[in-house]
Amino acid sequence: MIHIGLDFDDTLMDTRKSIVNVYNKQLNRSIMFNEVTIYEISELYGQSFKDFQEFFVSNQDELHLIEPYPFLQETLSRFANEVKFTIMTGRPVEWMESVNKWIKENDIVIESLCASQFPNGKIECAKLNGVSLFIEDHPAHALAIAEGGVNVLLIDKPYNQECQHERITRVRDWQEIGKILDIIVFR
């Protein structure tokens, strides 16, 4: 059975959009989400990383009210008999409960979930688990995974435009991912 690793934030749900919405409301700002091209959103609001961590922890419920990306649930369900999906997130362990809750509330069909807190990050987690394909948005993670010998589907984002590697295929959304999985799984 093919084993596919899934990033969580900005791969399964639009976490950044949620963060911008909640920050705007709380700090009375009007930053337009679509214009955000830098990765560290908290910097736009003059927040340190420590501030951001506190913000995230105290607003976890509201931040996770956002729906899954279109076509995500259908795609995961469609391949559930042929593919093992494991979420491998770089989130700290303390932020995992909100991931669990969101998955249950949104009927996300996955095999398991792990916080990839290994010294070498996600590639080590992927290799230990026999993952042959990884779906990711973060440019540094995608590159490290590709360089480690695992193919990556990189979700196209404003902040990952520079990211290129022979093992990285850029995809638009979960509909396109579904079409690629059709070829990989049913060929």
Euclidean distance between CA atoms 41 and 19, whole angstroms: 8
Q: Which is nearer to Mg ion, 27 or 112 (CB)?
A: 112
State yes or no: residue 89 binds Mg ion (CB under 5 A).
Answer: no
142 contact partners, CB below 8 Å, separation of at least 6: 134, 136, 152, 154, 160, 163, 165, 168
Q: Could you tell me the smallest distance in angstroms from the CB atom of residue 165 to Mg ion?
A: 17
Cα angle vertex 45, ends 43, 50, to 5°?
A: 60
Piece in contact with Mg ion (CB under 5 A), picked from 4-12, 21-29, 32-40, 103-111: 4-12
- Which of 5, 6, 10, 152 is in the footprint of Mg ion by CB under 5 A? 10
State yes or no: residue 75 binds Mg ion (CB under 5 A).
Answer: no
Piece in contact with Mg ion (CB under 5 A), picked from 6-14, 21-29, 51-59, 75-83: 6-14
Residue whose C-alpha is closest to residue 131's, from 148, 119, 115, 118: 148
State yes or no: residue 122 binds Mg ion (CB under 5 A).
Answer: no
> Can you tell me which residue has the tokens 């076509």?
71
136 DSSP β-pair partners: 154
144 contact partners, CB below 8 Å, separation of at least 6: 120, 121, 122, 123
- Which of 79, 122, 137, 168 is in the footprint of Mg ion by CB under 5 A? 137
Please tell me the chain's helix, strand, coil percentages from 3-state DSSP, rounded to the nearest 5.
45, 15, 35
Piece in contact with Mg ion (CB under 5 A), picked from 5-13, 57-65, 73-81, 126-134: 5-13
Q: Could you tell me the smallest distance in angstroms from the CB atom of residue 155 to Mg ion?
A: 8
State yes or no: residue 7 binds Mg ion (CB under 5 A).
Answer: yes
State which H helix or E strand residue 19 sits in. Answer: helix 15-27
Q: Which is nearer to Mg ion, 7 or 116 (CB)?
A: 7
State yes or no: residue 13 binds Mg ion (CB under 5 A).
Answer: no
Number of residues this chain uses to bind Mg ion (CB under 5 A): 5
Query: Residue 77: what residue type?
Result: S
State yes or no: residue 9 binds Mg ion (CB under 5 A).
Answer: yes
Q: Which is nearer to Mg ion, 11 or 75 (CB)?
A: 11
Q: Give residues in contact with Mg ion (CB under 5 A).
A: 7, 9-10, 137-138
